[in-house]
Amino acid sequence: MRHREGVFAVPMVHSTLLIQLRDPVGKSLAYDPPPPGYSGPVDDIIVFAHSVQHLGLTMYIDNRHFYGFLLAPPGDDSTLDHERSEFLHLKLENIGKTPVQKCLICYPLCSSSSTLLV
Report d(CA 66, CA 21) in Å as an integer: 22
Which element (helix H / strand E) includes 69? Answer: strand 69-70
Burial of 52 (0-12, 13-18, 19+ CB in 10 A): buried
Most confident of 8-17, 43-52, 105-114: 43-52
| Chain segment 64-103, per-residue pLDDT in tens | 887 777 777 788 888 889 888 888 888 888 777 655 444 4
Half-sphere exposure of 17 (CA within 13 A, CB side): 23
Report d(CA 17, CA 26) in Å as an integer: 12
What's the pLDDT at 92? 83
Cβ atoms of 61 and 10 closer than 8 Å: yes
Report d(CA 18, CA 1) in Å as an integer: 27
